[in-house]
A and B are shown apart, each in its own frame.
Chain A
Amino acid sequence: MRFRSPAKAAAPVPDSSLLLDAQDVSLERGERLILDRVSVQVRPAAVTVVIGPNGAGKTSLLRVLLGLWAPTRGRVRRRDGLRIGYMPQRLQIEPVLPLSVRRFLTLRQRAPAQELLAHLERVGVPHLLNKPVQSLSGGEMQRVLLARAMLNRPNLLVLDEPAQGVDIVGQGEVFRLIDGIRAETGCGVLMVSHDLHLVMANADAVICLNQHVCCTGRPEEVSRDPEYQRLFPAADVRGIGIYTHDHDHVHDLHGDVHQCSGGDGVGKGGRSR
């Protein structure tokens, strides 16, 4: 995972091993510039995380990478035969639509119940197969969405805020599952999050986005980058790691203890329906 700053971007040589290769993508909606010459490369079997504050254009970038929106400038290359498993940010299904988990999983492609169960088992919720989707909790829904994304045997898993609506313990679980799936299937993972330390623990490459790419690299590099620390002033002292226990302090990368400043980060957007 490398990033060329736009100024230095000499004619890029297409790398056929890349799952996704976005070069200098800009996006304008109306008069507003949402993405400014963003380059992203997603490698097989690697976890690539896009982080950034609210309104940084993370979801827009994902839409462009998924091919839902055409970029205003720049280009996105997808590897031939790329199968994307997509897990959207939120899924609210009207209560008036009678839909079981089984039916939801097979909306696009039919699959034998055995296979559905195996996928649900993998994410730890086989008992939900015949439940109405509206009865699921936030965490259960995320797991079902993950199972659904896996049904298509993707070589790229795209996740938009995968821990949205999940409590803090469940968030760690979701990320562990994603990491396990990556290890098992060798698929690439691209995810977007505003929650830093949770996602960065598992990341191979981090892209810090605020309309443009602020900084990029391995998690420990990014977390030391002044640009990153400027974007996430409350979070820079937290370091990287999965917190499944409560603390009134955190350990940074060097093991130093800092008081929590109670800012952005933990459990944000973690409201369950």
Chain B
Amino acid sequence: MIEGLLDDFLVRALLAGLMVALVAGPLGAFVVWRRMAYFGDTVAHSALLGVALGILLGLNLNLVVTLVCVAIAVLLVLLQRRQELASDTLLGILAHSALSLGIVAVAFIEGLRVDLMAYLFGDILAVGTGDLVAIALGGGIALLLLILLWRPLLALTVHEELAQVEGVPVLAVRLGLMLLIALVIAAAMQVVGVLLITALMIIPAASARRFATTPEQMAFLAALIGMLAVGAGLWGSFQYDTPTGPTIVVAAMLGFILIHLLPARLVPHFGRR
């Protein structure tokens, strides 16, 4: 019965999208709180390098993409420490260099036509059962990691030194966050593509802020809003024959606008200033 259901490409696409949104939303909350949107973007762009590397080496793409993303994330943190360049300059250089390098590297792959568009903007309708398992695995690990790291991560986000004095292993938690971002990027690549992954993280989280009175609520709502966007985007893409990844992001954007147009009396008082 389930196997029969999974035969339907739309069902597979929906499942993949929902799983990704489930973890991208809560992680997105941290990306928003810690002002890491551009950071996430840069790491996501480098995922294409991982794709090229994976194809060249004939290894599992999800694994290689995850590893490359972790490596780039750690490199970024180390470079930012040096503070010779402003952070946004550094990220700007790396984001576009990584993307260009990835595209150039893919072009070098001979005898294999790689559908670049699928990696840049996602190809959720092509998700196979194997992909589904990979997404479930990566997403599951990420979700578990996020739950385990939740409290220390939150403490770190509020005030890093205070957290350190209070015994939070800052370096380990930070590395954990890098790994988390990498895992989610690898899982989300097929759904919305490397160019749009950050949108799937920050738009639901930013939308959720309007209703949330606690960090946990914001994370939960972000997951919910992200999943709604995936459903709506998939439906819209089917209905209007539009590219699915961008349609999901458009759906999320419409939700964001709608939520922020809501009259104030429908929104809990807490948190507004």
Interface on A for B, CB 8 Å cutoff? 63, 66-68, 84, 86, 88, 91, 93-100, 103-104, 107-108, 130, 132, 134-135, 152, 158
* Chain A residues with CB under 8 A of B212: 98
* Chain B residues with CB under 8 A of A94: 33, 35
Instruction: Contacts A67-B165, A98-B209 known; list 4 others, CB within 8 Å.
Output: A66-B165, A95-B273, A108-B163, A108-B166
A12 to B273 alpha-carbon distance, docked (Å): 55
The residues in B between 141 and 197 inclusive whose CB is less than 8 angstroms from any CB of A are 151, 154-155, 157-159, 161-168
Interface: B214 (CB within 8 A) = yes
Whether the pair B214, A103 counts as a contact (CB closer than 8 A) is: yes
Whether the pair A86, B166 counts as a contact (CB closer than 8 A) is: yes
CB distance from A83 to the nearest CB of B (A): 10
* Chain B residues with CB under 8 A of A91: 158-159, 162
Whether the pair B162, A104 counts as a contact (CB closer than 8 A) is: no
* Chain B residues with CB under 8 A of A104: 158
Contact among A100, A107, A135 for B155, CB-based, below 8 A: A107
A26 to B140 alpha-carbon distance, docked (Å): 47
Whether the pair B206, A96 counts as a contact (CB closer than 8 A) is: yes
Whether the pair A107, B158 counts as a contact (CB closer than 8 A) is: yes
CB distance from A31 to the nearest CB of B (A): 14
Given A94-B33, A96-B32, are A88 and B218 also a contact pair (CB < 8 Å)? no
* Chain B residues with CB under 8 A of A99: 158, 214-215
CB distance from B177 to the nearest CB of A (A): 15
Most buried by A among B162, B163, B213: B162
Contact among A68, A97, A135, A152 for B158, CB-based, below 8 A: A97
* Chain B residues with CB under 8 A of A88: 159, 161-162
Residue tally, chain B, CB below 8 Å to A = 28
* Chain B residues with CB under 8 A of A134: 273
Residue of A nearest to B218 (CB): A98
CB distance from A130 to the nearest CB of B (A): 8
CB distance from A184 to the nearest CB of B (A): 22
Whether the pair B270, A97 counts as a contact (CB closer than 8 A) is: no
Residue of B nearest to A148 (CB): B162
CB distance from A150 to the nearest CB of B (A): 13
Whether the pair B162, A98 counts as a contact (CB closer than 8 A) is: no
Interface: B60 (CB within 8 A) = no
Whether the pair B206, A98 counts as a contact (CB closer than 8 A) is: no
* Chain B residues with CB under 8 A of A100: 213-214, 270
A93 to B155 alpha-carbon distance, docked (Å): 11
Most buried by B among A67, A130, A132: A132
Contact among A68, A108, A135 for B273, CB-based, below 8 A: A135
Residue of B nearest to A109 (CB): B166
A68 to B164 alpha-carbon distance, docked (Å): 7
CB distance from B215 to the nearest CB of A (A): 6
Residue of B nearest to A135 (CB): B273
Whether the pair A98, B213 counts as a contact (CB closer than 8 A) is: yes
* Chain A residues with CB under 8 A of B161: 63, 66, 68, 86, 88
* Chain A residues with CB under 8 A of B214: 98-100, 103
Whether the pair A96, B209 counts as a contact (CB closer than 8 A) is: yes
Whether the pair A98, B159 counts as a contact (CB closer than 8 A) is: no
Interface: B97 (CB within 8 A) = no
Whether the pair A97, B164 counts as a contact (CB closer than 8 A) is: no
CB distance from B161 to the nearest CB of A (A): 6
A98 to B35 alpha-carbon distance, docked (Å): 15
